[in-house]
């Protein structure tokens, strides 16, 4: 563990005291600005069972990461200090939950103690599948992005999955260790005992990169003077959602903590971060702050450049995602966009016994438009057809270009009968619409509703079967599929 030393201020003559106070006044202001928040904070309302729980548990053993500065650590006096300690202190004050520190030497020891039931709560951690085996989690106390740290000569990383033969240093037992091992088998993980060791390996060219909290990386780089390091990218969805974890048996404790966490404001969180990241250290010698000022400017420049590249990478990733999930001709979502959300829609409808229906539409004799009037005219027809569908739907419904001249409508909170009526109205609007090809167009529709045990493939297949019947029974009509073998007019 990185040693935390107690600094002593050397005696100084009166003419130096004014200079020292001038250098320390920003920190003093932050401290005085934060103190009223801790003393004037409101208490939360607990119900009878929650009050009874706290009476039965006058002290609640808490395990922490003993070496994760500035988030948290155990100081030489055996106290829990850092951002997590300050946030938990506010939650404790507002709920009445009284935590006592269960000391450990490493984060892995804390996890072992938690599994054994020696501590009812863990302080500052991400939720993972492995941890959900024995823990339940509160709402986040803090959200902090994780960034890729490399040496300054390393190129920016836009796709971690595309790297080959690279090593990444990560502390053992952390959520990021678990997630990187699962999601990026192309990387070789070098396990470390601490955040500092992981960054030291990168600085010494013993590892290609590390994935660390932006706050921790900035603080460690500044304190250790590792200005040969830089931020080289960010993995979307890999931010730290730092929560408290409690044993699965302690649901009441989790509910109490959530009530306290809900009272934390953005201002309180920001002031706590500033209080620890911008800490001033007074040494026992007169310090020349010129070099420190230049190093601070260098760090600021490095972080500013890295954050600019992160913003660019995020913007490019967002653009790529939109391109991958949007039909370029009509602007509607494509099949890729619905891959995950459609499955969740069906599962949600089944779980809560809510109606969900789909309508599969196909433009009748569309091939004749392409063959006789050209594909440019066909594209114009498709664009206008998509606009017609979009304007006829509720905001909660989804229109998607399923392929070619086929379009899929997902109708939430809609029964089979209601979806059939909607399909009839859409077909009537199509009959009455004047398309740019200057000829009357019609469409056929197949309707199906979600049933127990349905998947996306089965639901859409029933709608497609109904559409086939509509096409082969004269076109310009609606057919629906009640079950696997029943087609209904």
Catalytic residue numbers?
Answer: 405
Cα–Cα distance between 349 and 35 in angstroms, integer?
Answer: 49
The number of CA neighbours under 13 Å toward the Cβ of 378 is 15
Number of neighbouring beta carbons within 10 Å of residue 166 = 16
Cα–Cα distance between 309 and 408 in angstroms, integer?
Answer: 38
- Quick check: 97 and 91 in contact, CB under 8 A? yes
Cα–Cα distance between 377 and 213 in angstroms, integer?
Answer: 53
Cα–Cα distance between 140 and 152 in angstroms, integer?
Answer: 33
From first CA to last CA, the distance across the chain in angstroms is: 73
* CA nearest neighbour of 349 among 286, 289, 414: 414
* CA nearest neighbour of 123 among 105, 143, 101: 101
Q: Hunting for tokens 């939950």 — which residue is that? A: 97
Across the beta sheet with 146-151, what order do the strands follow? 188-192, 167-171, 209-213, 146-151, 229-233
- Quick check: 393 and 483 in contact, CB under 8 A? no
Q: What residues contact residue 162 under an 8 Å CB cut-off, 6+ apart? A: none
**Angle, helices 214-224/289-325, rounded to nearest 10 degrees:** 150
- 8-state DSSP, 154: S
Question: DSSP 3-state assignment of 184?
Answer: coil
Could you write out the DSSP letters of every residue in 198-218? HHHHHHTTSSSEEEEEHHHHH
- Quick check: 382 and 330 in contact, CB under 8 A? yes
Cα–Cα distance between 120 and 11 in angstroms, integer?
Answer: 46
The number of CA neighbours under 13 Å toward the Cβ of 365 is 12
* CA nearest neighbour of 405 among 425, 375, 432: 375
Number of neighbouring beta carbons within 10 Å of residue 413 = 13
Radius of gyration (Cα) for the chain, nearest Å? 30
Measured CA to CA in angstroms, residue 125 lies from 89, 173, 197, 332 at distances of 16, 11, 20, 39
Backbone angles phi, psi at 366, to 5 degrees: -70, -30
């Amino acid at each position: 563990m990185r040693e935390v030393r107690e600094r002593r201020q050397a005696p100084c003559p009166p003419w130096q005291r004014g200079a020292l106070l001038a250098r320390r006044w920003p920190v003093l202001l932050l401290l005085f600005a934060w103190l009223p928040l801790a003393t004037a904070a409101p208490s939360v309302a607990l119900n009878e069972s929650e009050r009874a729980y706290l009476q039965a548990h006058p002290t609640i053993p808490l395990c922490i990461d003993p070496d994760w500065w500035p988030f948290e650590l155990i100081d030489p006096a055996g106290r829990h200090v850092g951002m997590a300690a300050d946030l938990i202190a506010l939650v404790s004050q507002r709920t009445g939950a009284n935590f006592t520190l269960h000391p450990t030497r490493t984060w892995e020891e804390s996890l072992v103690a938690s599994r054994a039931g020696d501590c009812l709560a863990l302080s500052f951690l991400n939720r993972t599948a492995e941890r959900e085996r024995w823990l339940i989690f509160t709402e986040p106390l803090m959200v902090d992005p994780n960034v890729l740290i490399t040496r300054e000569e390393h190129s920016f990383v836009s796709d971690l999955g595309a790297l080959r033969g690279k090593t990444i240093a990560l502390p053992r037992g952390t959520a990021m260790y678990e997630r990187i091992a699962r999601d990026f088998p192309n990387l070789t993980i070098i396990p470390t005992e601490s955040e500092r060791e992981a960054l030291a390996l990168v600085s010494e060219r013993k590892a290609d990169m590390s994935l660390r909290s932006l706050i921790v990386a900035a603080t460690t780089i500044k304190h250790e003077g590792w200005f040969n390091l830089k931020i080289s990218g960010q993995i979307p969805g890999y931010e730290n959602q730092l929560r408290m974890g409690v044993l699965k048996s302690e649901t009441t404790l989790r509910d109490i903590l959530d009530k306290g966490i809900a009272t934390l404001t953005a201002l309180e969180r920001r002031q706590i971060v500033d209080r620890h990241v911008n800490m001033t250290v007074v040494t026992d010698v007169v310090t020349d702050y010129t070099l420190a000022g230049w190093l601070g400017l260098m760090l600021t420049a490095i972080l500013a450049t890295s954050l600019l590249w992160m913003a660019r990478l995020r913007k490019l990733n967002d653009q790529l995602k939109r391109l991958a999930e949007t039909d370029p001709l009509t602007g509607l979502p494509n099949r890729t966009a619905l891959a995950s959300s459609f499955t969740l829609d069906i599962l949600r409808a089944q779980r809560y016994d809510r109606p969900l229906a789909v309508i599969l539409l196909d433009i009748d004799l569309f091939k004749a438009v392409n063959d006789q009037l050209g594909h440019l005219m066909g594209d114009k027809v498709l664009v206008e057809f998509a606009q017609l569908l979009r304007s006829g739907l509720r905001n909660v419904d989804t229109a998607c270009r399923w392929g070619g001249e086929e379009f899929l409508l997902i109708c939430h909170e809609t029964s089979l009968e209601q979806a059939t009526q909607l399909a009839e109205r859409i077909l009537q609007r199509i009959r009455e619409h004047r398309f740019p090809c200057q000829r009357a167009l019609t469409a056929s529709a197949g309707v199906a509703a979600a049933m127990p045990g349905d998947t996306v493939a089965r639901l859409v297949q029933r709608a497609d079967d109904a559409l086939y019947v509509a096409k082969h029974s004269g076109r310009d009509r609606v057919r629906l599929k009640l079950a696997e073998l029943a087609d209904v007019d």
